[in-house]
Amino acid sequence: MTNDHRMTRRQFAAHTAVALGGLSVARSIHGAPPKESLLVLTATQALRAMRNGEITAESYASALLNQCGRGKHLNAFITQRPERVLEAARECDRKRSSGVKLGPLHGLPIPIKDSVNTKDLPTTAGTPALRNFQPSEDAPLVRALRTAGAIVLGKTNLHELSYGYTSNNHAFGAVHNPYDPTCIPGGSSGGTAAAIAYHMAPLGVAEDTEGSIRVPAALCGLAGFRPTTGRYPTHGCVPISPLFDQVGPHARSAADLLLFDTALKGGYPTTSTRSLEGMRVGVIRAYWFSGLDAETERVTNAALAKLQAAGVELVEGELPELQRLIGLTTDAVQNHDVKPALTRYLAEFHSGVSFEQLLAQASPDVRRMIEPAVTPGGHDFVTDAQYDEIVRVHLPALRTMYHDYFARSGVAAIVFPTTILPAPKLGEENMEVLVRGKRMALDIAMARNIAPGSTAGLPGLVLPAGLTSGGLPVALEFDGPAGADRNVLELGLAIEAALGKLPPPPNALNATAPS
């Protein structure tokens, strides 16, 4: 369905083709491509253009900064310093002119979730006690990105302390969904998702303990990737649990997720799309497909039909112990780990704030979630003895169950709708939502489907599946075996080609900014 203010897929494809094809024409006439054409470039395309001298890093950074200004109403960023971005871009141009070897991310501005340490910008974690916290060094991930040639575009807004799915931050303001600003963008990495969806940058850094990469990617119509736990470094990131925490990318294309992985892990990015003919993908309906919102179910079924038409074999199966094991592990691990993990982080990086001070200054909605977990006798408190049993017995059982399922079924990945429903309205974060006339806690609607993958430490790829009749994105997630990250990402290229990409959010590429 299309509205007057929204591009159809065909119009979007034509717009993109014209923009890319017009780079050389525009440059020959005016000396530089128009800013609108720069905004539709993927990271892979922009890097190629900068490396070939078709555009400068400064002109590209300027176009993205201008778009950040146009999208200010989304509140995607907590901190940005445009002149520093432009100076870093000029330095990239000087390096290219001098003939030095360029990194794989040369000149690419990347927004970073404001829970990842940066030496030149504050790291607030979206919470009042860290409003002025300035780490003395970059997190290893940021250092690796800069070494690869990337520029930090700014620090993106998030759900406070990464403790929620709405990114309705009561300290720094709510992040808004680019497809409908009255709706949530998902959380906790809502700012990065909003920035990428609104074409403020093509590639960004998010972070995922229990869905914080994948939920915003799904609700904002993006490609998102949570890798196997431990694949990318998380030291210097504001933690919840070292067993589950993992950084990863948001992008508007599967190729850019591969680019990110290649820049951090080495090797060569694959650009060729493999055939889906005969590809086995698992479907486990009893857990992931039950109780879906009607529009989510409609879009999901249509997307699965496209995959089958492209040659994918959907393999029906069961994981009868899944719900029990998730109930024993997911929340309990985070409830136990959050206090010691945050206490270590605050001390190691000399924040000048104790855990108790952090919690005392946190917004009431976040305090209400954390206090019962860190207070002995609280209803979410997990003792060390209980935790030991979880880590020693239940988590290994969950991971063994997945390992045996993949070995037995021969599927490349398990597919399911990422969330139970599309983005709900902003302000419903403390309320139940209606799904097919039944009330459901919002946290369950957002987290039920994504919790198993991150608890088991699996690589999870999110790709857009389509739009609801109201114009909101719906996504599919593909969880692969632990360690099969590159295979899952390469599979994503073919799946994306079969599903197609979404049109951009309304007004994102229009000449006039929203009022």
Confidence of residue 331 (pLDDT cuts 50, 70, 90): very high
pLDDT given for residue 514 in this prediction: 54
- Is 188 a residue of the active site? yes
**Tens digits of residue pLDDT in 334-345:** 999 999 999 999
Q: What is the pLDDT of residue 431?
A: 72
Return the residue matching tokens 């430490």.
457
Average pLDDT of the residues in 227-249: 98
Q: Which residue has the higher pLDDT, 152 or 21?
A: 152
Q: Is the pLDDT reported for residue 504 higher than 90?
A: yes
Beta-sheet pairing, 432-435 with 438-441: antiparallel
Q: What pLDDT, on a 0 to 100 scale, did the predictor assign at position 27? A: 46
Structure tokens belonging to residue 38 = 């720069």
**In sequence order, what DSSP letters do the residues of 224-292 get, joined into one string?**
EEEPSTTSS--TTB--S-TTT-EEEEEESSHHHHHHHHHHHH-S----SPPP-TT-EEEE-HHHHSTT-
Of 212, 253, 351, 363, the catalytic one is 212
Q: Name the H helices within 52-139.
A: 57-70, 82-98
The tokens for 125 are 């974690």
**Is residue 10 pLDDT above 90, yes or no?**
no
Asked if residue 244 lies in contact with residue 450, where contact means CB atoms within 8 angstroms, the answer is no
Q: Is residue 25 over pLDDT 70?
A: no
**Residue tagged 């079969």 (tokens):** 498
Confidence check: pLDDT of 481 > 80: yes
Q: How many other C-beta atoms lie within 10 A of the C-beta of residue 265?
A: 13
Q: What is the CA radius of gyration of the chain?
A: 22
Which entry of 37, 62, 113, 167 is annotated as an active-site residue?
Answer: 113
Where does 41-499 sit in CATH, by number? Answer: 3.90.1300.10
User: Of the listed 188, 189, 241, 351, which one is catalytic?
Assistant: 188
Torsion angle of the four alpha carbons 69, 462, 288, 450, in this order, in degrees rounded to the nearest 10: -70
| pLDDT confidence of residue 35 | 65
Q: Residues 242, 266, 157, 427: what is their CA dihedral angle, to the nearest 10 degrees?
A: -70
Mean pLDDT calculated for residue range 67-85: 98
pLDDT at 118 over 70: yes
